[in-house]
Amino acid sequence: MYWLISFDPLAILLFFLQSLIWMLGGWLIVTHAFKSRSSERLITGVATGFLLFIGFSNLFSHWVSITIAFWLSSLFILAMGIVFIWKSGQRPWLDRKDLKSWPHCLALGLLTWFFFSIQLGLGLFDDFEQLPMISIMGAGDIPPHFYLDPDFYFAYHYGLQVWAASLINQVKLLPWSAWDLTKAVAIAFTLVLGWVYVKRLTRNSLAAWLGTVLLTFASGTRWLFLFLPYSTLIQIQEHLKLVNSATDIGNEFASVIVSPMAMAGQGLVPFPFAYHNGIFTPVISVLGHSGAIPYVIALVLLLLVPGSHINFPAMLVLSMIFGVMALGAENMFTFIWIALFIILLVVIIRNRKSVSYIPPHRLLYWAGVLVISAVLSAFQGGFITETVRGILAGLIGGAATQSSNVYEFSLRWPPGLYTAHLGVLSLFKPLEILTLVIELGPVLLLGPMAIYYSIRSIKRGAWLPASLGIGGALLILFPFFVAYGVDRSTTRLPATGLWLWLAILTPLLWQMMKTRGRIFRDMLIVFYFVTVFGAVNIFSVQMTTMPNPQNSYFINPADARFARSYYNKFPSDIQILDRIPYRAVTIFGRAVKAYESVYDPLPGWPALIENPDPEMVYAAGFQYIYMDEIWWATVPQETRDELEYGCATYVGTPEYYQSTSRWLIDLSNCH
């Protein structure tokens, strides 16, 4: 009950054909629009095609059905590659030597299978948000509306979810299996691309392996608190305010730090709180939330454009990749865009002073990347688009907002950084500074080196790596001074910034280890161990979930059977009432009008859950009720009688799993 809505061999074959088309197109594009090494072109081309498929599918979905959009996207990517061939005049079209790097593709497949096997047993964190959104996207709603109020668009970074939607729409995967596979593919891309990137700059296989491990497992170091005396933990505890899932464990930091996490869907072996993190989580942690697309994008950019030289075709491709960044990682896009804009201004000023000469067309191409990606970000969908939509609506005197999940920014004073478990840690309190430094981990020490490296990169014309370094600094500094309506979301900014620093500096650290003295080498070894130790422990727990698959913490096999029978079968305007509203959305692929935000129900909805009288529910706009035994036990007896013997009818037969049951009730006669 985990895999398929229905088994259609032809649909699966067509999906693989479609994937081969955009992979071939990506390979052609990388070959003819960029100057890449033969050993890198194949895997970089596949990754580029993957990102372009997401970007163009999202754009085309504004005007045509998503099935057509997916095919148009694949064919358009291939057409771009063919046009670039014609423009370059290069022969042959593809170099057979590129195929010698087939182990990269094999590694991509094996790693996808491995991480997918782990993902089968995890249903963590954002499933309540990701699965219903992916479900309605797979049913055709791209850009997605808010799954709990379809009157509004959903301001969210849904880039990677577009590919998950294609798996639902075309392969007929169930939403949870589609999302698990998508996250596994993205994290596998991160590892393989990371290896290729480090190998390019170090020319050393050992460095590539060690660098890949560092990029994958680098995280904060909360576990260092375990070495502090209990009396010190008590002192720190007085300055902390536990928040979110930490409060489910206990009220005192000194006891919480040595306890397991309290998380639904984490498997039979709980995650230790000490090895988790509230800011800088490792790449492997994206198995539990919105995916590794920021890392994939950053590595693809570093592999495609090591310097500043690009041509017109490269400008077009980079603009779309930046657009995908805006769609799937809006925080990273915003600050890398700003950093690149600043770099171009600096270069223009230097050009005028004749300090160094850069051809004007190169500056124009990079300016084109900034302009085109900015336009895409404003109109393609996602968080930036919905923010712009709200601003424009206010300027022209329209509704205050047409989007859900958009909150206000405000000044944070005194400066501090929000952590997902320990609240805001102030820069004005020594013990909170200590806590913050431990939470962020030793990668924070790379800051001066990252800035220095970025400045040097500007001087030698490597603008893209420089923009990642400077953008990373902006990502880290911004949330110290600016708070957001859902402040937990700001933790993604410093986490992304730290990882970007690590990405551009990992090859340099290897070179420094070879050329500096023994003391420096020993310090780097300690840095390496401390940086990856916590995530290795988390990863070991993740692996224990492999023998115990689950759909998600709110989806059991009875729900899956309903999904196989009724997903995307009802008219698009049908509303289904469920005490867990996102569960029905996930199962049936239909948004419901239940909540005004992700966490706050609409007025009147709680009353319907308390007493789902058929006529009242129908009058409220719901045509069906998705009932479970827990809800049924709380329903007044009079309402039970109405549901069993009144105007309501039962759709199909109830589904059972162990001691749980599910049934779908039709209210079409209750008016």
Q: pLDDT tens for residues 26-72?
A: 999 999 899 888 889 999 999 999 999 999 999 999 999 999 999 99
pLDDT band at 616 (very low <50, low <70, confident <90, very high): very high
The average pLDDT across 420-429 equals 90
Does residue 101 contact residue 27 with C-beta atoms inside 8 Å?
A: no
Tens-place pLDDT, residues 163-187: 999 999 999 999 999 999 999 999 9
Assign 2 a pLDDT band (cuts: 50, 70, 90). Answer: low
Q: Six-digit token pair at 68?
A: 């057509």
Query: What is the three-class DSSP state of 159?
Result: helix
- Distance, in Å, from the CA atom of 128 to the CA atom of 285, rounded to the nearest integer, reads 17
Nearest Cα residue to 379 out of 392, 369, 368: 392
Per DSSP, the three-state class of 411 is strand
pLDDT of residue 82: 92
CA-closest candidate to residue 67, choices 161, 153, 171: 171
pLDDT of residue 288: 57
- 601 exposure class (CB count in 10 Å sphere: 0-12, 13-18, 19+): middle
CA-based angle 214:176:76, to the nearest 5? 80
Residue 661 banded pLDDT, cuts 50, 70, 90: confident
Name the token pair of 72: 């148009």
| Residues ≥6 apart with Cβ < 8 Å to 671 | 615, 618, 619
CB atoms within 10 A of CB 519: 8
The C-alpha atoms of residue 332 and residue 496 are separated, in whole angstroms, by 7
- Greater pLDDT, 233 or 475: 475
Say if residue 258's pLDDT is above 70.
Answer: yes
Mean pLDDT, residues 375-392: 88
Q: What angle do CA 38, 42, 47 make, to 5 degrees?
A: 135
Query: Which pLDDT band holds residue 198 (cuts at 50, 70, 90)?
Result: very high
Residues 6+ apart with CB under 8 A from 147: 132, 133, 135, 136, 154, 582, 585, 591, 592
The pLDDT, as a whole number, for residue 22 is 96
Structure tokens at 130: 């990701």
Question: Residue 315: which residues within 8 A CB-CB, separation 6 or more?
Answer: 365, 366, 368, 369, 372
| Per-residue model confidence (pLDDT) at position 357 | 62
| Rg of the Cα atoms in the chain | 26
Residue 460: pLDDT band (50, 70, 90) is: confident
- How do 403-404 and 149-154 pair as beta strands? parallel
Q: Per the omega criterion (within 30 degrees of 0), is the bond before 507 cis?
A: no
Give the pLDDT confidence score for residue 353 in this predicted structure.
Answer: 65
Ramachandran quadrant class, 335 (left: phi over 0; alpha: psi -120 to 50; beta: rest): alpha
Q: Which helix (H) or strand (E) holds 232?
A: helix 230-237
CA distances from 142 to 96, 147, 163, 331 (A): 38, 12, 11, 21
Tokens encoding 571? 């008219």
C-alpha–C-alpha distance, residues 665 and 648, integer Å: 6
Mean per-residue pLDDT for 271-280?
A: 89
CB atoms within 10 A of CB 529: 11
What residue ranges in 75-229 does DSSP mark as E strands? Answer: 145-146, 149-154
Residue 401: its pLDDT value, please? 53
173: DSSP letter: B
In the predicted model, what is the mean pLDDT of residues 618-643? 91
| Window from 325-339, 391-405, 439-453, 489-503 with minimum mean pLDDT | 391-405
Question: Which pLDDT tens digit goes with each residue over 67-87?
Answer: 999 999 999 999 999 999 888
> Which residues lie closer than 8 Å to 63 by C-beta, 6 or more apart?
none
Which secondary-structure segment (H or E) carries 295?
Answer: helix 293-304
Residue 355 makes CB contacts below 8 A (sequence gap 6+) with: none
Q: How confident is the model at residue 3 (pLDDT cuts 50, 70, 90)?
A: confident
What is the share, in percent, of the chain residues with pLDDT greater than 70?
96
Contact assessment for residue 579 and residue 21, using Cβ atoms and an 8 Å cutoff: no
Task: Give the mean model confidence (pLDDT) for residues 467-490.
Answer: 91
Give 343's pLDDT tier (boundaries 50, 70, 90). Answer: very high
Q: Whole-number mean pLDDT of the chain?
A: 89
Contacts of 118 (CB under 8 A, 6+ apart): 184, 287, 542, 543, 545, 546
- Mean pLDDT to the nearest integer, 235-264: 84
CA distance 322 to 389: 20
Q: Name the strand (E) or helix (H) holding 133.
A: helix 127-138
pLDDT of 545 over the 90 cut: no
- Give residues with Cβ within 8 angstroms of 600, minimum separation 6: none
Task: Tell whether the model's pLDDT for residue 399 goes beyond 60.
Answer: no
pLDDT of residue 371: 96
Upper half-sphere CA count for residue 97 (Cβ side, 13 Å): 8
pLDDT tens profile 484-508:
888 888 889 999 999 999 999 999 9
Global pTM exceeds 0.85: yes
pLDDT of 224 reads: 93
Q: Of 74, 100, 66, 82, whose CA–CA distance to 31 is shortest? A: 82
- Residue 287: pLDDT band (50, 70, 90) is low
Contacts with 431 (C-beta within 8 Å, 6 or more apart), sequence order: 235, 236, 239
Mean pLDDT of 198-214: 94
Q: Are 30 and 301 in contact (CB under 8 A)?
A: no
**Amino acid code (one letter) for 204:** N
Q: Are 173 and 5 in contact (CB under 8 A)?
A: yes
